[in-house]
């Protein structure tokens, strides 16, 4: 991408450390505590060595090999993330409509799970950081939840101002965090240097062979050490592959390994430290500064996820799975910095609900793993379709590469299902509700389009009839937005009926969104002259483009059609949905769709039309 060339490799790597690795970097706060705090694992040196080895090889297999080495290769025009992967996989099987439809549903559910993750991550991260106050003094316990909510409110309140000002501190603060956790690890490893032998996979294998049932049970907690692994793929478009890989292998992986092994060394000396092994690593004089640093690191990790929720929502809207939402740009330089009020405060309300319901990071940990594991599983499945159908590798090789990761993901996922009733239901419920909204919007739009097409008039035939006895022509350009190319827009029919005039230039504009991140400027417009000062125009956008119809139409100048801002009017049809019994969806879903349609932000705002040049003409549509 263009911005990669403008920034140095060092600056991009620093940015990647701050934004990409905040979530996985703060997992040291709770991952080890949940494994040994479960009560399933006895405190023996062999068990500690075995668990540390499992941690190390989980990080190696899932993050280093799966994500950093394989999944980062599956970029969609430089963009990553589940939506980009879904679009890539969808294009790879476009000649198999049934398979494509099923795969889209699986991928969209994975995207919905991202919102569940977006609720749990800030809640568990900030809560686990503030819980360090309990280690400072038990009297602080009653302040943990209120203080967590206050910090979260502050975080969400500043979102509308954008992160441009504070974003430059993310990288340095997170680097300090990784340096601190590495130093704590080294301090304890120094007293038990033999703990480093746990890097050998022999210890992990021996633990799994000797304790198969316990291994299965604790995998649900072990997976907490790789939460945030999806972020390094999702943020690929911002930083590029190389900075993300350098940051992982030079900074993040070594720091995490040292800290986990340091926690293991501490537990060899003092099993009672399991109550909070991370904070118990620190001497008393360092506890308060460490709590402050951990809180800053978790806020940064949460910020990255909130920004990700805004970006994913915008992409899903562009792909037609959600109604138009108010999108505010918080930076004049970076078009990727956006703020969506309804997503921001919706997330905040559900996060506060999660904090109040679950009360501790340990309780939230039960809810966390299942969302992460399901997303990892879906990514692996989509990767197979990209490798086999998109990259044209043989079936045997594609199955061998993804099959190994599928087995690993299924093991973690099955273990987390054991925690379904303890809290795993929470992110699944969030994802299911959002999925219901998305599927209802998609199906409702299909019904609406079907109804419009049934009632629509053919544009060329209609214009031919109109110009047999043309109405009065007025100066200027009329732009009629139409949902289907080749159909007469309702706004034009109303305009002719009530105003009985036709502009000297008439553009029938159809905006089409595609399953690619960006559309090149040279491919933005299709223009067809249909005579008598009328043109059919199709504007193409990718799911990460910012739709801007006036800017796109400016490219028509010099091609036989002159569009000037001061003499152009935009005519929109504003449909009012009327649910009917016995239609295409259940009545309650039709009512839901009608309400979503009513509350959608205006097409004028979404398409960046000048408000003083827009004419909206309404009509009722029964579905």
Q: Which helix (H) or strand (E) holds 582?
A: none
Residues 6+ apart with CB under 8 A from 482: 488, 489, 508, 509, 510
Pair 286, 127: CB distance under 8 Å:
no
pLDDT in tens, 251-305: 999 999 999 999 999 999 998 898 899 999 999 999 999 999 999 999 998 888 8
Q: What is residue 65's DSSP assignment?
A: I
Please state, in angstroms and rounded to a whole number, the distance separating the CA atoms of residues 281 and 288: 13
Q: SS3 of 138, please? A: helix
Instruction: Please provide the distance, in angstroms rounded to a whole number, between the alpha carbons at the two ends of the chain.
Output: 43
Query: Looking at 406-500, which runs of residues are DSSP E strands?
Result: 472-481
Please state, in angstroms and rounded to a whole number, the distance separating the CA atoms of residues 166 and 578: 47
Pair of tokens at residue 364: 């939230």
Query: How many other C-beta atoms are found inside a 10 Å radius of the C-beta of residue 8?
Result: 10
Please state, in angstroms and rounded to a whole number, the distance separating the CA atoms of residues 195 and 173: 29
Nearest to 179 by CA among 295, 280, 290: 290
The pTM of this model reads 0.86
pLDDT at 435: 95
CB-count burial class (<10 Å; 0-12, 13-18, 19+) for 541: buried
Please state, in angstroms and rounded to a whole number, the distance separating the CA atoms of residues 28 and 301: 13
Please state, in angstroms and rounded to a whole number, the distance separating the CA atoms of residues 329 and 517: 18
Nearest to 22 by CA among 178, 147, 134, 152: 178
CB-count burial class (<10 Å; 0-12, 13-18, 19+) for 222: buried
pLDDT in tens, 155-211: 999 888 876 666 678 889 999 999 999 999 999 999 999 999 999 999 999 999 999
Nearest to 486 by CA among 442, 548, 531, 538: 538
**Residue 493, Cα to own-chain centre: how many angstroms?**
41
Residues 6+ apart with CB under 8 A from 586: none
**Residue spans of the chain under pLDDT 50:** 1-6
Which domains, and CATH codes, for the chain? 2-428 (1.20.1740.10), 456-622 (no CATH)
CB-count burial class (<10 Å; 0-12, 13-18, 19+) for 175: middle
* CA distances, 266 to each of 100, 191, 259 (Å): 51, 9, 10
DSSP notation for 506-543: EEEEEEEEESSS---GGGSEEEEEEETTEEEEEEEEET
Query: How many other C-beta atoms are found inside a 10 Å radius of the C-beta of residue 402?
Result: 23
Q: What is residue 325's DSSP assignment?
A: -
pLDDT at 6: 46
Please state, in angstroms and rounded to a whole number, the distance separating the CA atoms of residues 119 and 353: 9
Nearest to 133 by CA among 123, 145, 125, 141: 141
Residues 6+ apart with CB under 8 A from 39: none
Please state, in angstroms and rounded to a whole number, the distance separating the CA atoms of residues 231 and 237: 11
Q: Which helix (H) or strand (E) holds 432?
A: helix 425-455
Residues 6+ apart with CB under 8 A from 438: 108, 112, 316, 321, 322
Nearest to 111 by CA among 280, 323, 354, 313: 313
Q: Which helix (H) or strand (E) holds 491?
A: helix 490-498
Please state, in angstroms and rounded to a whole number, the distance separating the CA atoms of residues 63 and 23: 13
Pair of tokens at residue 175: 């680097």
Pair of tokens at residue 230: 């999806």
Pair 226, 24: CB distance under 8 Å:
yes
pLDDT at 249: 96
Pair of tokens at residue 369: 């793993």
Please state, in angstroms and rounded to a whole number, the distance separating the CA atoms of residues 364 and 351: 11
- Where do runs of H (alpha helix) occur along 329-389? 341-358, 361-385
């Amino acid at each position: 991408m263009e911005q990669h060339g403008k920034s140095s490799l060092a600056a991009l790597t620093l940015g990647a450390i701050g934004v990409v690795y905040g979530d996985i970097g703060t997992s040291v706060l709770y991952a080890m505590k949940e494994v040994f705090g479960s009560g399933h694992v006895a405190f023996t040196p062999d068990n500690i060595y075995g668990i540390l080895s499992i941690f190390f090889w989980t990080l190696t297999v899932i993050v280093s090999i799966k994500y950093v080495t394989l999944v980062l290769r599956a970029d969609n025009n430089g963009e990553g993330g589940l939506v980009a992967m879904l679009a890539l996989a969808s294009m790879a099987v476009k000649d198999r409509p049934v398979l494509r439809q099923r795969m889209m549903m699986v991928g969209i559910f994975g995207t919905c799970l991202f919102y569940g993750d977006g609720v749990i991550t800030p809640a568990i991260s900030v809560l686990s950081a503030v819980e360090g106050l309990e280690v400072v003094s038990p009297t602080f316990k009653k302040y943990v939840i209120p203080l967590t909510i206050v910090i979260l409110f502050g975080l969400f309140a500043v979102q509308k101002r954008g992160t441009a000002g504070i974003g430059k501190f993310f990288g340095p603060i997170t680097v300090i965090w990784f340096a601190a956790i590495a130093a704590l690890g080294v301090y304890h490893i120094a007293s038990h240097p033999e703990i480093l032998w746990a890097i050998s996979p022999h210890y992990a294998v021996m633990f799994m062979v000797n304790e198969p049932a316990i291994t299965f049970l604790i995998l649900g907690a072990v997976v907490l050490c790789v939460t945030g692994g999806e972020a390094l793929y999702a943020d690929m478009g911002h930083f590029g592959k190389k900075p993300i890989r350098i940051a992982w292998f030079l900074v993040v992986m070594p720091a995490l390994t040292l800290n986990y092994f340091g926690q293991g060394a501490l537990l060899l000396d003092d099993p009672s430290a399991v109550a909070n092994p991370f904070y118990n690593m620190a001497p008393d004089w360092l506890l308060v500064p460490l709590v402050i640093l951990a809180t800053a690191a978790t806020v940064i990790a949460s910020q990255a996820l909130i920004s990700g929720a805004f970006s994913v929502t915008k992409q899903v809207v562009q792909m037609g799975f959600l109604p138009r939402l108010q999108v505010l740009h918080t930076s004049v330089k970076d078009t990727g910095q956006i703020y969506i009020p309804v997503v921001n405060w919706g997330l905040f309300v559900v996060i506060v609900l999660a904090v109040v319901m679950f009360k501790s990071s340990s309780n939230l940990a039960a809810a966390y793993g299942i969302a992460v594991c399901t997303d990892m599983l879906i990514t692996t499945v989509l990767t197979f379709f990209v490798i086999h159908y998109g990259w044209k590798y043989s079936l045997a090789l594609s199955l061998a590469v993804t099959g190994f990761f599928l087995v690993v993901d299924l093991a973690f996922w099955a273990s987390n299902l054991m925690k379904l009733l303890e809290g795993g239901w929470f992110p699944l419920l969030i994802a299911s509700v959002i999925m219901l909204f998305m599927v209802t919007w998609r199906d409702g739009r299909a019904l609406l389009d079907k109804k419009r097409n049934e009632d629509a008039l053919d544009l060329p035939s209609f214009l031919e009839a109109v110009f047999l006895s043309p109405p009065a022509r007025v100066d200027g350009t009329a732009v009629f937005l139409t949902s289907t190319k080749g159909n007469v827009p309702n706004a034009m029919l109303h305009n002719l009926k009530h105003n009985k005039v036709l502009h000297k230039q008439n553009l029938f504009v159809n905006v089409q969104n595609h399953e690619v991140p960006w559309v090149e400027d040279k491919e933005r417009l299709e223009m067809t002259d249909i005579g008598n000062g009328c043109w059919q125009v199709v504007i193409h956008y990718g799911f990460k483009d910012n739709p801007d119809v006036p800017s796109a139409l400016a490219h028509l100048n010099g091609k036989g059609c002159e569009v000037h801002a001061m003499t152009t009017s935009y005519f929109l049809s504003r449909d009012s949905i009327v649910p009917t019994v016995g239609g295409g969806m259940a009545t309650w879903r039709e009512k839901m769709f009608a309400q979503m349609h009513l509350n959608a932000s205006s097409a004028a705002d979404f398409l960046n039309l000048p408000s003083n040049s827009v004419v909206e003409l309404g009509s009722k549509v029964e579905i």
